[in-house]
Amino acid sequence: MSSINFKPITTLREPTELAAHGLVPVADLPNLEKVAARYAVAVTPDVAALIDPDDPQDPIARQYIPSAEELAAQPNEKPDPIGDDAHSPVSGIVHRYPDRVLFKLVHVCAVYCRFCFRREMVGPGKATALSEGAYENALAYIRAHPEIWEVILTGGDPLMLSPRRLAEIMADLAGIDHVKIIGIHTRVPVAEPSRISREMVAALKVRGATTWVALHANHARELTRKARAACAAMVDAGIPMVSQSVLLRGVNDNAAALEALMRGFVECRIKPYYLHHGDLAPGTSHLRTTLEHGQEIMRALRGRVSGLCQPDYVIDIPGGHGKAPAGPSYISPVNSFSQESEQPPERRYRMVDYCGDVHLYPPEP
Ligand code: SF4
pLDDT > 70? residue 122: yes
Q: How far is the CA of 308 from the centre of ligand 1 (A)?
A: 26
Q: Does residue 343 carry a pLDDT above 80?
A: no
Pocket (CB within 6 angstroms of ligand 1): 109, 112-113, 116, 118, 122, 155-157, 187, 216
Q: What is the pLDDT of residue 346?
A: 77
How much is the mean pLDDT over the chain?
Answer: 94
- Atom 6 (ligand 1) nearest CA: 113
For the residues 38-52, what does the mean pLDDT come to?
A: 97
Instruction: Give the pLDDT score at 2.
Output: 45
Is the pLDDT reported for residue 353 higher than 60?
yes
Specify whether the CB–CB gap between 186 and 215 falls below 8 A. Answer: yes
- Residue 77: predicted pLDDT: 96
Question: For residue 112, what pLDDT band results from cuts at 50, 70 and 90?
Answer: very high
From 109, 185, 188, 274, give the residue whose CB has the most ligand 1 atoms within 8 Å, as the site to mutate.
109
Taken as a whole, the chain contains a residue count of 365
Judged on CB neighbours under 10 Å (0-12, 13-18, 19+), 266 is middle
* Distance between Cα 268 and ligand 1 center (Å): 21
Judge whether residue 340 has pLDDT over 70. Answer: no
Mean per-residue pLDDT, 86-112: 96
Whole-number pLDDT of residue 344: 66
Per residue in 188-204, pLDDT (tens digit) is 999 999 999 999 999 99
pLDDT mean over 138-163: 96
Give 276-299 pLDDT, tens digit per residue.
Answer: 999 999 999 999 999 999 999 999
Please tell me the residue having the least CA distance from ligand 1 atom 5. 112
**pLDDT tier at 130 (50, 70, 90 boundaries)?**
confident
Q: Report the first-to-last Cα separation within the chain, whole angstroms.
A: 64
Active site residues: 96-97, 100, 109, 113, 116, 118, 279, 316, 323
Residue 182 CA, ligand 1 centroid: distance in Å: 19
Q: Which residues contact 175 (CB under 8 A, 6 or more apart)?
A: 208
Average of per-residue pLDDT across 1-12: 71
Query: Is pLDDT at 4 greater than 60 in this prediction?
Result: no
Please tell me the pTM assigned to this model: 0.94
pLDDT-above-90 percentage for the chain: 88
Q: If you average pLDDT over residues 110-117, what whole number do you get?
A: 97
Distance 332 CA to ligand 1 centre (A): 38
Q: 324 Cβ partners below 8 Å, 6+ apart?
A: 314, 315, 317
> What number is the average pLDDT over the span 98-110?
96
Q: Is residue 338's pLDDT more than 70?
A: no
**pLDDT > 70? residue 1:** no
Q: Which whole-number Å values give the CA distances from 22 to 2, 8, 13, 28, 251, in the listed order? A: 5, 11, 14, 12, 20
